[in-house]
Amino acid sequence: MKKKWLAAAAAGLMALGLTGCHSHEFGEWKVKTPATCLEEGLQERSCECGETETETIPAAGHSFGEWETVTPVTCTEDGEEKRTCSECGETETRVVEATGHSFTPATLFAPKTCSLCGETEGEALGHVIGIGEEQTGEKYKFTISDIYFATKASEKQGFVTHNSAEGYYLIIKMSFTNLANETLEQWSSDRVGEMLLQYDGQYDYEGEFRVLTDDIVPLDTRNAYIMYSVPETMGKEDGKSVNAAFKIDGDTYVVQVREGALAAAEGQASGETEGTGAAGETDESEAAAENETELTAQTAVGDTRTDGESFRFTLDQVYYATKVSEKRGSTTYSTQDGNYLVLKMSYTNLANEVVKQWSSDRVTDMQLVFDGQYNYEGEFRVLIDDIVPLDTKNAYILYSIPEMVETSEGPLEASFKINGHEFKVDCRANQTA
């Protein structure tokens, strides 16, 4: 009887799941209380027998996006930024401390200037002067009488007209009195130096000191000229700054040229000056800009190539010659005699450094290949002066060749590099008269 009772009791316990023999089979978790960014949640799952199990869902924490500017920071005032949680919309802010000024050093033409906000401090290193203002030092006295653009400086003494070399210049003319007990040399003087002209705040040009008629002996007064070789476009634009500086016996002077030049140029004789009233590029420059193409290597006559930063050129001619000549005024400039394949181009210097007249490390790897196997090296030449920043001049690449290359029909390809960019010319296909 007792055994039957125990068996019945065990069966009942098993039915109720109160023995260790039952294994729960829980279903999927179901969220009872969702978690938030800051508060925990709760989830639950159940067994068929009715048993339940709960588990805490950790708080997710905020999911902030990128910081966004609310109040911009300045050099002198703090700014504010905020970011927003993408889950709950909570925002967080932070202060961005004022940066403080970042001054660039003072220059001849400008005081210390903050590169962030443009605020200035102190004064420019040079003493700013203008037309008609007399300046006196221990050993000199001068007054600027004129500022103008011209192809040369000229001065008449009796029946003789004295001229500077031809070119294109920004000229500062002054009446100079030598108070020292030593002669001021006519064509150069170590007392006048560091002649620098700056265009548009970024392009630099060197100057030279000239007295056209004679040396300036002690206590004598003569006209003197500081001449900066510049591109012609500078004289035809009035929207960009032009500032000149020079030193006399260590004293630094600065001239704000643009206004003075335009005003003074109106009074110049038409035979000496170039036009300065019309703003904008020359027609030729506009046409070249419209014609610009990509920096593709293969180049034909009429093609323009530019990197937009340091150079622009148009291939004008491909021809054979015994020498290359170019005339300016009454003077003819020529290369040495020889037998050449010539690439002639109109070259604009876009960089703030001079392209040298007789050689330049910016134009390299000049090679001419005849019939796929015979190689000839080339040389770069500018016949009339260096090419100063933003100036345009004729430039030539000359390959010295034997006459049979000219008379043969074999393939002839020229190549060269400008600032590392390679260009190739099919000389047979592009030969001009």
User: For 139-153, 156-170, 286-300, 321-335, which range has the lowest pLDDT when averaged over its residues?
Assistant: 286-300
Q: What is the pLDDT of residue 375?
A: 96
How buried is 413 (Cβ within 10 angstroms: 0-12 exposed, 13-18 middle, 19+ buried)?
middle
- pLDDT above 90 as % of the chain: 58
Among 416, 5, 363, 388, CA closest to 204: 388
Q: Is residue 40 within 8 Å of 56, Cβ to Cβ?
A: yes
State yes or no: pLDDT of 266 exceeds 90. no
Cα–Cα distance between 26 and 232 in angstroms, integer?
90
3-state secondary structure of 287: helix
List the domains of the chain with CATH numbers: 60-100 (no CATH), 127-265 (2.60.40.1240), 284-430 (2.60.40)
3-state secondary structure of 171: strand
Structure-derived torsion over alpha carbons of residues 431, 433, 359, 375, reported in degrees to the nearest 10: 40
Rounded average pLDDT over 168-196: 93
Angle at CA of residue 263, ends 259 and 266, nearest 5°:
145
Q: What is the pLDDT of residue 275?
A: 35
Q: What is the pLDDT of residue 9?
A: 52
Q: Which two tokens stand for residue 236?
A: 């035809």
Q: What is the pLDDT of residue 263?
A: 37
Among 229, 224, 39, CA closest to 150: 229
Among 53, 102, 99, CA closest to 75: 99
Q: 3-state DSSP helix/strand/coil percent for the chain, to nearest 5? A: 10, 45, 45
End-to-end CA distance of the chain: 134
pTM (whole model) above 0.75:
no
Q: What is the pLDDT of residues 65-123, one digit of tens each?
A: 999 999 999 999 999 999 999 988 889 999 999 999 999 898 888 889 998 888 988 88
3-state secondary structure of 43: strand
Q: What is the pLDDT of residues 270-284, one digit of tens each?
A: 334 333 333 333 444
Among 324, 382, 378, CA closest to 348: 382
Close Cβ partners of 20 (under 8 Å, ≥ 6 residues apart): none
Q: How confident is the model at residue 261 (pLDDT cuts 50, 70, 90)?
A: very low
- Report the mean per-residue pLDDT for the chain: 85
The partner residues of 364 in beta bridges, in order of sequence, read 417
Q: What is the pLDDT of residue 41?
A: 87
Cα–Cα distance between 140 and 131 in angstroms, integer?
17
Q: What is the pLDDT of residue 259?
A: 52
Rounded average pLDDT over 411-426: 95
Q: What is the pLDDT of residue 329?
A: 80
Q: How confident is the model at residue 257 (pLDDT cuts 50, 70, 90)?
A: confident
Q: What is the pLDDT of residues 298-330, one digit of tens each?
A: 999 999 999 999 999 999 999 999 999 998 888
Cα–Cα distance between 276 and 236 in angstroms, integer?
5
User: For 1-5, 128-132, 246-250, which range has the lowest pLDDT when averaged over its residues?
Assistant: 1-5
Structure-derived torsion over alpha carbons of residues 332, 336, 340, 346, reported in degrees to the nearest 10: -40
- Which H or E element spans position 8? helix 2-16
